Each structure stands twice: as C-alpha cells, then as structure tokens.
Amino acid sequence: MKSILILILALVPLYVQAEKKKPAWISDLSTFCKPSELCTVGEAVGMMQAESSARKEMSKIFMTQIKSKNTLSSSGKQVSVGDQPVSGSFEEEMYGEIEEKTEGALRGVVIKDTYETADSFYALAVLKKAEGAQFLKSEMDELDKSIVEFYKDGRRNSLNKALKTMKVRDGLNINYEFLKGKKNPSKVTYQQVMEKKNQKRSQNVVVFLKVNEPSEKGEIRDIIISKLLEDDFKVVTDNKTHKYKIEVEVKKNKEYLKVEGFEKYMFMLRINSFNQSGEKLGNLVFDKASVGRDYSHAYSNVLPSIMDFIVDKIGELNID
C-alpha cells in the first residue's frame, strides 16, 4: 500500500505538467502584449535556444521595419532609406551598421515567460517600447555629433561622410518612430548637405590621376576614380589642365619564407597629392606583408586591405 502511494505522489507532478494549460501568448500575442510593449515568441528543442530564438525574432522586427520602407529600382542598383537614395554597393554596409547599433536596444529585452511540452520549448520576449526608443535616440544623438562635424568641415569627403552617416541615422529613426510614434528630427538636413555638395560640383575641379600598380586590371585606379567622382571631382588620366595631381605607386619586396610552395612579399602603397605648382599637399603610406603560392596570389590576398585603406584614408590627401 505504501509503495502504491509513493508511485501516485511521483506521478502527480507529471500529471499536473501534462494538464498545464498552454499559454495564450504562444498562439496570440495580442492577448498578452501591452500597447507599450513589443513581444515575440521563440520556439526550439531546448529552453536556451527558445530564448535566443525569441530575441532574434525581436531583431527581425526592427530590420523588417527598415527594409519595408526601402525601395530597390528595377536594376537592383538603387535603394532608398526614407526619401533618400543610396547606392546599391552601400546597402549591405548600411544595413550592417544599422543592425549593429539597433542590437543595443535589444539589451532591454527580457524573457517574461516560458513554456515547455514533451518535444518543444517556448519563450516570450518583451521589450518596453519607451526603453528601446530611448536607446535609439541616444545612438542618433551620437551620430548627430558626427554629422554636424562633417557638415561644418565642409570638404567634399566630409560631406559624403555626413550623407552616409545620415542614412544610417535614418534607419535608426525608422525604428524609433515605430516604437515612439514620431520621428526624432536631425540637426542637419539632406538639403543643407546637398547644397554644399552642389556648390563643390559646380566648381568643376579637375584631378589628374597617375597610377602605377601591379595588376593590369587597374583595381586601385578604379577605386580611386570612384571615390574622387563620389567627391564631385572630375578625373583625367592624361596630363590635361588640372587643379590637383595624385600619384599612386605600389612597390614590392620579396621576403624570406621558410615554407615550401609559398612566397612572401612586402607590398608598399604610396599616394601623394600635389597642387598646380607641384607643391605636395598630402601623402598616404600603407605597408603590408602577404603570402601566396606565387607573386600574383600574394597580391590578390593583400589587395582588399589596400582597397579598404584607400576608401578610409583618401580624404586625407588635402585636396578640395
């Protein structure tokens, strides 16, 4: 008799668990989530995975808001954030930065409830909209500081940095409006930046570009031309009348490498800028070693780093 009683007592928790009512939030969040909250549900085979899934679903909501307000042209090369066009090449970078900054708002997410069945686990994630909006506003405030500095600087490269920063800010503002119900106005407008850019463009400043690079494909030449055009310069590659001259050279030194079948090279990038009188205005220096099966392979390995350096530093050539 005693053993039967023990067995019954042991089965009671299992019976209670089996009879535990499935929470309404699993199938209908509207019955649980307050208007002041944002809620998502995660499902997985383990509780930790379910909680992680719920947080990821929250992140998806934010990125969906941004992408739903963006438009791609039929060519697939044009995207806009709000009312402002963005080049297709910038789209991925822009989304990545917006997502990274939005992740901070998700630190306010709490797992409010959980539920498990014989084969699944569920987690309810909740974010207070006011807390998320406040974090996004603080991120936008920091971006505003950079935008104002770029705008006041007024140089071509700085104005383009202002535009790119503003587009990231726009992405955060879309989510801010989603949470808060209103936008957070920027301290500098697109119209103000574009007015300065148009003034620069109307000056028709010509840059003579001379490039000596290892590859016949001209990757370095092309990226520099692209950045100069983006900064509203006119570019020539023969010695015509010009206001500025940029000379680019990539040298190499083969170095010792005690690994059979591979070669090591030190690549040295030098970029110098000059005015019409031949006076040096600025210079960029970048050295990096690279290993490959041969010289061509080593160069292809180092080329992305060279390109990144050019994109990041070309504004320091002191031409405007």
> 196 — alpha (psi -120 to 50), left (phi > 0) or beta?
alpha
Q: How many CB atoms lie within 10 A of CB 62?
A: 25
Determine, yes or no, domain membership for 263. Answer: yes
pLDDT digits (tens, 9 = 90+) for 139-188: 999 999 999 999 999 999 999 999 999 999 999 999 999 999 999 999 99
Per the domain annotation, does 175 fall within a domain? no
- Mean pLDDT of all residues in 190-216: 94
If one counts the domains in the chain, the total is: 1
Predicted TM-score (pTM) of the model is 0.77
What residues make up the domain containing 208? Answer: 204-317
| pLDDT for the residue numbered 70 | 61
Task: Report pLDDT digits (tens) over 45-67.
Answer: 999 999 999 999 999 988 888 87
The answer as to whether 250 is a domain residue is yes
State the Cα–Cα distance between residues 158 and 164, nearest whole angstrom.
Answer: 10
The pLDDT of 302-307, averaged and rounded, is 95
Report the alpha-carbon distance of residue 17 to residue 117 in Å, rounded.
9
User: Which of 175, 217, 143 is CA-nearest to residue 64?
Assistant: 175
Q: Give the per-residue pLDDT at 138.
A: 94
The pLDDT score that the predictor gives to residue 11 is 47
**Is the Cβ–Cβ distance between 223 and 235 less than 8 Å?**
no
For residue 12, is pLDDT > 90?
no
**Angle CA(181)–CA(176)–CA(25) in degrees, nearest 5?**
75
In whole numbers, what is the pLDDT of the chain averaged over residues?
Answer: 86
Cβ-contact 211, 224 below 8 angstroms = yes
Residue 15 has what pLDDT?
43
The CATH number for 293's domain is 3.30.160
Query: How high is the pLDDT of residue 74?
Result: 29
Say if 49 falls within a structural domain: no
For the cut 60, the answer to whether the pLDDT of residue 301 exceeds it is: yes
Please state the rounded mean pLDDT for residues 186-207. Answer: 94
Cβ–Cβ contacts within 10 Å for residue 144, how many? 18
What are the pLDDT digits (tens) for 27-37? 888 888 899 99
- With CA atoms as reference, report the closest residue to 244 among 220, 213, 208: 208
290, 301 contact by CB (below 8 A): yes
pLDDT at 92 over 80: no
Is 225 inside a domain boundary?
yes
pLDDT at 268: 96
Does pLDDT of 14 surpass 80?
A: no
- The band of 20, judged by pLDDT with boundaries at 50, 70 and 90, is low
Residue 116 lies in a domain: no
Percent pLDDT > 90 in the chain is 68
- Residue 156 included in any domain: no
* Residue 131 and residue 289 in contact, taking contact as beta carbons nearer than 8 Å: no
Sign of CA dihedral 309, 84, 140, 195: positive
The sheet that has 244-255: what strands, in order across it? 234-236, 206-212, 244-255, 263-274, 280-292
Alpha carbon distance 232, 191 (integer Å): 17
Residue 83 pLDDT > 60, yes or no? no
Q: What is the pLDDT of residue 159?
A: 95
Q: Has residue 281 been placed in a domain?
A: yes
pLDDT at residue 91, as a whole number: 63
71-98: b (≥16 Cβ within 10 Å) or e: eeeeeeeebbbbeeebeeeebeebbebb
Q: What is the end-to-end Cα distance of the chain in Å, rounded?
A: 96
